[in-house]
Amino acid sequence: MTKTDDIIERLAGDLKPVPRDMLRRRFALGIVPALGLSLLLMLAILGPRIDMPDVLMLPVFWIKSAYNALIAVVALLAVHRLSRPDGSEGRFFDVLALIFAAMAAVAAIQLIMAPTESYPVLILGSSALHCPLLILGFALPVYGGAVWALRQAAPTDLRLTGFVAGIAAGAAGAWVYSWFCTENGMPFVLIWYSLGILLTGALGAVTGPRLLRW
């Protein structure tokens, strides 16, 4: 027993306490530059909107932006909790369902108030086929930043952590894309933006067990 105690003491003797906010700083270092890179990619590939001053006056633009930003923030908070060995997702899925339901209500109101002949534009727009893929593309840098931060942590449910990290990255990519996207249909945002976010979440669920292994 004495030898065992000596071994434990020698192993633990050089350990230093980890700063309380180290993990938070790690996430900031991983996510913020990655989000900036996504913005630069958007500007380089798609370019800025020439009608941005007018767009900023439209409530639908800010609703679209808020939908993605809220999902990203809620998912990042859940990822931070999941990054600890004893962590869990908390009420993430409940809050996510509330955000989705609120957006569905807004989409339904817009459809009710619009003439039926405008439904194809409000639902499909002109970019339904490539919108989810562009969101996935703009989300990849953010997902990479989240993986980098998580590899310095100790998550235990790697598939769930990867999925939630993918949702966070997908929502961040959707927020970036929303600054270029010309679609003003809330049903479009509900369906096709959510699909892009879900695709990134699926990518995280598939790659999480391999990339986050420790």
Average pLDDT, the chain: 90
Query: What band does 166 get if pLDDT is binned at 50, 70 and 90?
Result: very high
What is the residue type of 39? L
Cβ atoms of 181 and 127 within 8 Å: the answer is: yes
Which pLDDT band holds residue 6 (cuts at 50, 70, 90)?
low
Give pLDDT, residue 3. Answer: 55
pLDDT of 203 > 90? The answer is yes
| Residue pLDDT, tens place only, 9-32 | 554 455 455 555 777 888 899 999
Q: How far apart are CA 8 and CA 200, in angstroms?
A: 43
Residue 48: helix, strand or coil by DSSP? coil
Q: Is the pLDDT of residue 1 over 80?
A: no
pLDDT of 11 reads 47
Q: Which helix (H) or strand (E) holds 126?
A: none
Please provide residue 57's backbone torsions phi and psi, each rounded to the nearest 5 degrees: -90, -5
Exposed / middle / buried, residue 124 (Cβ in 10 Å: 0-12, 13-18, 19+): middle
Residues in the chain: 214
Q: What is the mean pLDDT of the segment spanning 164-193?
A: 96
Q: What are the tens digits of pLDDT across the range 73-89?
A: 999 999 999 988 887 88
110-126 pLDDT per residue, tens: 999 999 999 999 999 98
The predicted model gives 40-61 an average pLDDT of: 89
In the numeric block, which tokens belong to residue 80?
Answer: 């931070």
CA distance linking residue 176 with residue 31, whole number of Å: 13
Determine if the pTM surpasses 0.85: yes
What residue segments make up the domains of the chain, in order of their start?
22-212
| Exposed / middle / buried, residue 193 (Cβ in 10 Å: 0-12, 13-18, 19+) | buried
